[in-house]
């Protein structure tokens, strides 16, 4: 049984996990392709930089929960209208609290570096400057690396590493209008800030 602080760590790892969303989001999760023709305003490729906007919790510098992550790369349109690319990912995840049935407190730092496979589905979005958005989904590639260190138990560290290396993440990003150049946005429903051009 895990205690509340451990659930906080799991929530931090899953902050950007793909959530159930209506219509297009469910279509993406089920692997369906977008219907209809490709809007003329779409670029052949988009360069994205996603920076985490995770809550940073803790009473002092010696006990912090939070960290940061950057995911960066280029999505290129495939003949089927989907976008895909391989992105670099760098992570520093901080945990301080109790875990397991003993309730024993410990501190953990997870450092992750590697590449993720990202895909994007174009959906209509009336709020977007270009009238469209990309529903993104990414998962660590098999060569992705992570190491958890600190005085937490070896089993707990292995569990955190395994979760980090297997969880699928997602977000929805508005696409810029043609000629708009770089666009920066703090995503409303996801703990990310994104730059797209």
The 10s digit of each residue's pLDDT in 124-170 is: 988 888 889 999 999 999 999 999 999 888 998 999 999 999 999 99
Within a domain: 180:
yes
Say what the pLDDT of residue 167 is.
94
Structural domain of 188: 4-17+44-196
Within a domain: 148:
yes
Distances (CA, A) of 2 to 6, 7, 52, 66, 166: 6, 7, 26, 19, 20
Within a domain: 23:
no
Average pLDDT over residues 101-127: 90
What is the Cα–Cα distance from 174 to 152, expressed in whole angstroms? 40
Structure tokens at 9: 């760590």
Within a domain: 29:
no
Give the DSSP per-residue string, 152-175: S-HHHHHHHHHHHTT--EEEEEEP
Total domains in the chain come to 1
pTM as predicted = 0.76
Asked if the model's pLDDT at residue 21 lies above 60, the reply is no
């Amino acid at each position: 049984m895990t205690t509340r602080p451990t659930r906080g760590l799991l929530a931090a790892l899953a902050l950007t996990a793909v959530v159930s969303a209506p219509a297009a989001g469910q279509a993406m999760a089920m692997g369906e392709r977008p219907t209809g023709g490709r809007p003329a305003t779409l670029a052949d490729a988009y360069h994205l930089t996603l920076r985490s906007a995770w809550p940073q919790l803790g009473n002092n510098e010696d006990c912090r929960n939070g960290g940061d992550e950057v995911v960066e790369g280029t999505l290129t349109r495939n003949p089927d209208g989907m976008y895909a690319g391989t992105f670099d990912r760098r992570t520093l995840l901080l945990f301080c609290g109790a875990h397991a049935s003993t309730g024993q407190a410990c501190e953990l730092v997870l450092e992750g570096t590697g590449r993720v496979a990202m895909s994007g589905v174009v959906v209509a979005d009336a709020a977007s400057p270009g009238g469209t958005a990309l529903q993104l989904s990414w998962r660590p590639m098999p060569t992705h690396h992570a190491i958890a260190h600190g005085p937490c138990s070896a089993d707990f560290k292995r569990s955190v590493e395994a979760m980090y290396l297997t969880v699928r993440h997602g977000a929805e990003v508005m696409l810029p209008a043609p000629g708009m150049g770089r666009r920066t946005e703090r995503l409303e429903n996801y703990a990310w800030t994104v730059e797209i051009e």
